[in-house]
Each structure stands twice: as C-alpha cells, then as structure tokens.
Chain A
Amino acid sequence: MTKREQRTLAAGRTYYRQFNEEIRALVREGVTDFVIRECNGQRYLATALEGDLTFDIHGVPGQDLAAFMRGPKIRVRNNAQDGVGNTMDGGRIIIEGLAGDVIGYAMRGGEIFIKGDVGYRVGIHMKAYLDHQPKIVVGGKAGDFLGEYMAGGIILLLGMFSDKPDAPVAGRSLGTGMHGGVIYVRGEVPEHQLGPGLHAQPVDSEDLKVIGALVEDYAKELKLDSKEIMSENFVKIRPFSHRPYGNLYVPC
C-alpha cells in the first residue's frame, strides 16, 4: 500500500491551464487523492495522468476530462460535458449524472460508468488489445452513432435511468462501421436503429457472465441494485461476419 496524501482544491473560476498545472505540481510532490470543489468547466482535468490517483469532482468539469489517462479513478458528482475519457488507456471514471457527446472516443482501456443519459457518438473508435479491454456502461439512453467504428471492447447500454421516457434506448446508426467488440443492450433494439452489417442476437451464458461481472462493478460504484438491472433480457450487437470490411480496400 503506497502512502496516500489528500488535497482539496477549489476550482471556482480559475483558468484551466493554471489549475491543471497546480494539479500536476501536486502530483509530482506526492499528492494522490484530490477533492475538487466548485468545478466550473475547467477543461482537460486529469489529462494524461498515470498511476494510482483519485479525483473526487464536485461541480461540472469541462471538455476532455481524463483524456489519455492511464490509471487514475475519477468520480464526478454531477453531470459531465463532452469528450470524457478521450483516448483513455486505463483507470475508471464514474459519472453520477448524465454525460455529453463523444464519451470514450478511441478509448483503449479502463472503464467509464455513467448513471444517466449520454449524448451522440459515445464509444466511437473504441479498440482492444489482448487484456486491454475498454468498457463503457450507460445507465440511461444514448444518442445516435453509439459505438460507431467500434473495433474492440464492450459497451453496455441499460436504458434505465433516463430523463427521456419516450425516446428509444439508442439513436439511429447504432454501431455503424463496427468490426470488433460488442454492444450489449438491456431489453430490445428496433432493427432499423442498427447500422448496416450488424445484427442483434440473444445473449448466451458466456455473455451473461461478462454482463453480470460488469453490472456488479457498476452497481457498486453507483449504489444501484444489480439484481434489478439483471432482471431483464439483454441482446448483443455484433457484425454478422468476421472482418466485415476486410475486402473494402484490398479485395481477396
């Protein structure tokens, strides 16, 4: 167990560049656990930080929270904006409210758990390598292009804690261009929401194990009832052939 050192910072109207410099300096001095109060749109918080750090953020952080991050654990007590976890490599982000567009763009490791709804283009370009498996769990509903160009990892969409009772669980062009990884959806997805070359199938017992473990973590972090989440059927969305775009540029 490494030595922990906590620090509370008030962001207020501090300019993001100055605020991030302060955080980085403190990390170099050995501070490991940050409580950030009055966060008000400061961009790039925890960007590219590595190792066993924690951030407890009160208020609304700005764009590109935790971009390129490898390791830290971030909890956002309110909503988050666009670009959370851009190209993140490891660690965990928990958002207790909703989140904006392009969450987890090109993400390649770690987890993002969002309690509420998310915007458009969440999880696009996600990729995996060996045991580096990025995972996004969305408790609410998602906008269009969820998992577009997805190459690896897992997106789990629950549709439960949504502010939009009449909206479909996901928008149009779900998984368009997807050629790897898997999108699990609780309940059903209308066929026309799916991008071309994909199908939604019932999950098998292996899938349920994966979903169960992920839900367990998710429910614990957000103080939710995992049994209730698991009480409904899931479908999995994948391309219906291996390497669906393999012949696109170099036909064989």
Chain B
Amino acid sequence: MKAPERYYDFQKDISGCGIFGVIHKKRGLIPGEMPIAAMTCMHDRGNGLGGGFAAYGIYPDHAEKYCFHMMCDDDSAIEGSEKLLRAYFDLHHFEPIPTRRVLSIPRPPKFNRYFVTVPEKPVNEFSELPEEDYVVAVVMKINTSVPGAFVVSSGKNMGAFKGVGYPEDIADFFRLEEYSAYIWTGHNRFPTNTPGWWGGAHPFTILNWSIVHNGEISSYGINRRYLCENDYLCTMMTDTEVVAYELDMLIRKHGLSWEMAAKCFAPPFWDEIARMDEGDRELYTALRATYGPAMLNGPFAILVADNTRLMGLNDRIKLRPLLVAEKDDMVFMCSEESAVRDVCPELDRVWMPKAGEPVIVDLEG
C-alpha cells in the first residue's frame, strides 16, 4: 500500500478550544465588546460548533433573585419548565432573553429568563432541603423530567449565554454588546468527543458557578458516577459539566477552599507528596484518598467564576495553554496573549501559571 500522491498537501484547520476571562477587581463594568473581540481574535481555535459566555453583575435590579436562563426546544418545553418553576418557586419576573436573527445561527432554540426566589415554606419533596440545595434539586428536576428544556444558568446577578456557532455569532444572537459585567468568561468550542449541540456548549453552570474549559476530561465516567451518588445528574452530554457540579459539591457543600478544590482536580504527583513536610504530606495524601473520584484526568485549562472570583487552572502537566495578564484593576486569563492584546494593548504583566497551581483573583472589598 502506498500513500496517495502529495498526501501531505491538504488544507486542514488544526485547532483546540479557546478560552478568555476577565475580572475587574473594583467591580468596574466591562462592556460586552471586550470578551466578544477577544474571542473573535481566537476564532480559529473553534470550528463553529459551540460558543458561549458567562457574565456577572448583569442583573443588578434583581440581584437577590435566582435567575433561570432557560433553553427550550419548543413551546411544550417552555410550558413544562414554566409550570415547574411556578410550582417550586415564587416567580417575580420573567421575559424572553433578547435575541436577534442572525444568518449564521439557523433554527435556534427559544430562550427565556425567570427571576425567582425560594418560598418560605415550600410544600413539596424538596421542602427539607437548605435553600441552595433546593435550587440545585429543581435544576436537576427540570433537566431530567421536561423533554427539550434545559437550565443554562441558575445563579444570582449572573447568566450564561451559549449555543452552536462561533462565539462572535452567539454574541451577536444574544445581543451581548448590550450587557456590561464585572466578570466575563468566554469559550470557543472545537468538540472532539461529544456532540456539538446547544446544551453542550460552554459555559456550564450551577447556582453562581460557571466554568469554561479547553481540553477533555478522560475521567468523565468516574466523575459523573461520583456526582450521581450525590444527587447531581449530568444531562448535557459534555465532559465539562462535571466540573460545575464538583465545584458546587466540594466548595459549597463540603466547605473546601478553592485552592483545595483545585488540588482535588489536579493533585500533586505522589513523588511530590513524598517530598513535602509532614503536615502537607498528610493533607495531600488525605485529599487524594478522599477525593480520588473527583480528580480530573486529562488535559485541561479551565476558567471558573462565581460572583466574587475568577480562577484559572491547568491540568498538572499543562497540556493546554493558559496565560494571565494584568492591567490596573483588570486581570485577564486566556489561551493566547494576542487575544488579550487585541482588547488591551498595554499590559502591566504577562505570565504563564504553573501546571496544577490555581490562579485566583478576588474582587476587592
């Protein structure tokens, strides 16, 4: 057998996903144009099968209510999910999420948002649950019981906007230039293992958590099973979904710090643990033993956010790029420096974090 003539001479787009995040430490509002332009610069890191953004600080008038971004295939999905939302929550306000018709986005699902609070004395099967667990339980119930309805985000004063398309097209569709936020994350998808469908685009969210991810999580099976035992049900058919739920479980429910959760995702190697002093050795041994099923195996660069923080983290042998840049009160985390320079040409500092070491940036005050 002989290779075809000039087998090497072909046009092929070689790529991986692209991620971008920015936080303004003094809650200064960053217009949507910035993350959109940065993602546009990294257009070639995706292939048009997924784009999305998470934004924090976009609903100040409803800051104390949970905002459900709903994605529905059809009217019966809207009806079904709305019925559940009304049954389980006090519904204060709802409206369609503003979109515009875009040539590059054919046949999109329908998007609505609902601002809700948990009733004082709910009468249902979740009534014993603390407030945030209650919200998580309703998210799981909608995702698993209403055909064609999916919760895109469920946090306070934040929202996720995502779908099938390049990120700049998704931004155009959702009119993201009309929003301003003090934390933005963005994602350009190049799906490798799972379908490029609307729910499978990043970010993935639960409560205030959001995550965007470049890479793949080979441990998805064990992570998903572990989460399932703890009442988190994966329905989005994309590996990254497990990270959102693990964040909620490890940090909110088990009380781990963000640093420790990052060390569960990307634990130190055993030979590194062996060289630590006794206290650390005991800690990291216990962490690996306890949270083995939460470890993320495979290549990743992830950006995690909630209402007060942005965190960047690489897998422990850094199989995906991640760069941090600082300018005055803004900190950027991104796959490529050129995307940051595109939106902020002058930077105070640019550096690449160490594999497995989280970079955490907090809001001030």
Q: Mark B87-122, 1 if CB is under 8 A from A, else 0.
A: 000000000000000000000000000000000000
By the criterion CB–CB under 8 Å, are A60 and B351 in contact?
no
Provide 7 A-B residue pairs closer than 8 Å at the C-beta atoms, listed in order of the A residue. Answer: A40-B338, A60-B341, A62-B338, A79-B350, A100-B323, A143-B355, A172-B272
B27 contacts partner chain A, Cβ-Cβ < 8 Å: no
B177 contacts partner chain A, Cβ-Cβ < 8 Å: no
A192 contacts partner chain B, Cβ-Cβ < 8 Å: yes
CB-defined contacts of B321 to chain A, threshold 8 Å: 81-82, 100-101, 119
By the criterion CB–CB under 8 Å, are A144 and B42 in contact?
no
Residue among B272, B317, B337, B341 with max Cβ neighbours from chain A (10 Å): B337
Query: How many angstroms between the C-alpha atoms of A197 and B104 in the bound complex?
Result: 55
By the criterion CB–CB under 8 Å, are A41 and B355 in contact?
no
Residue among A16, A60, A144 with max Cβ neighbours from chain B (10 Å): A60
Residue among B269, B352, B355 with max Cβ neighbours from chain A (10 Å): B352
List 9 A-B pairs, minimum CB-CB distance, nearest first. A41-B338, A60-B338, A120-B318, A60-B337, A40-B338, A119-B352, A163-B351, A60-B341, A41-B41
B164 contacts partner chain A, Cβ-Cβ < 8 Å: no
By the criterion CB–CB under 8 Å, are B338 and A101 in contact?
no
By the criterion CB–CB under 8 Å, are B318 and A98 in contact?
no
Q: Which residue of B lies closest to A173 (CB)?
A: B317
CB-defined contacts of A61 to chain B, threshold 8 Å: 338
Contact for B318 among A13, A79, A97, A144, CB less than 8 A: A144
By the criterion CB–CB under 8 Å, are A163 and B337 in contact?
no
Q: Which residue of B lies closest to A40 (CB)?
A: B338
A164 contacts partner chain B, Cβ-Cβ < 8 Å: yes
A33 contacts partner chain B, Cβ-Cβ < 8 Å: no
By the criterion CB–CB under 8 Å, are A145 and B317 in contact?
yes
Q: Mark B305-331, 1 if CB is under 8 A from A, else 0.
A: 000000000000110010100000000
By the criterion CB–CB under 8 Å, are A119 and B351 in contact?
no
Interface size class of B (residues with CB under 8 A): 20 to 34
B259 contacts partner chain A, Cβ-Cβ < 8 Å: no
A135 contacts partner chain B, Cβ-Cβ < 8 Å: no
By the criterion CB–CB under 8 Å, are B336 and A41 in contact?
yes
B86 contacts partner chain A, Cβ-Cβ < 8 Å: no
By the criterion CB–CB under 8 Å, are B318 and A119 in contact?
yes
**Binding site secondary structure of chain B:** mixed
Q: Mark A100-142, 1 if CB is under 8 A from B, else 0.
A: 1100000000000000010110000000000000000000000
Q: Mark A37-67, 1 if CB is under 8 A from B, else 0.
A: 0011101000000000000000111110000
Contact for B354 among A41, A143, A163, CB less than 8 A: A143
B12 contacts partner chain A, Cβ-Cβ < 8 Å: no
B128 contacts partner chain A, Cβ-Cβ < 8 Å: no
By the criterion CB–CB under 8 Å, are B349 and A163 in contact?
yes
Query: How many angstroms between the C-alpha atoms of A40 and B41 in the bound complex?
Result: 8
Q: Which residue of A lies closest to B319 (CB)?
A: A120
Among B324-361, those with CB < 8 Å from A are: 336-339, 341-342, 349-352, 354-355
B44 contacts partner chain A, Cβ-Cβ < 8 Å: yes
B278 contacts partner chain A, Cβ-Cβ < 8 Å: no
Known A40-B342, A41-B342, A192-B275; contact A120-B317, beta-carbon cutoff 8 A: yes
Known A81-B336, A119-B318; contact A59-B349, beta-carbon cutoff 8 A: no
A9 contacts partner chain B, Cβ-Cβ < 8 Å: no
Q: How far is the CB of A20 from chain B (nearest CB, A)?
A: 13
A25 contacts partner chain B, Cβ-Cβ < 8 Å: no
CB-defined contacts of B342 to chain A, threshold 8 Å: 13, 40-41
Contact for A117 among B318, B336, B351, CB less than 8 A: B351
By the criterion CB–CB under 8 Å, are B44 and A40 in contact?
no
CB-defined contacts of B339 to chain A, threshold 8 Å: 41
A224 contacts partner chain B, Cβ-Cβ < 8 Å: no
CB-defined contacts of A192 to chain B, threshold 8 Å: 271, 275
CB-defined contacts of B271 to chain A, threshold 8 Å: 192
Given A41-B41, A59-B338, A144-B355, output 20 extra A-B contacts at Cβ < 8 Å: A40-B338, A41-B336, A41-B337, A41-B338, A41-B339, A41-B342, A61-B338, A62-B336, A63-B336, A81-B321, A81-B336, A82-B321, A97-B350, A98-B351, A100-B321, A100-B323, A100-B352, A117-B351, A117-B352, A119-B318
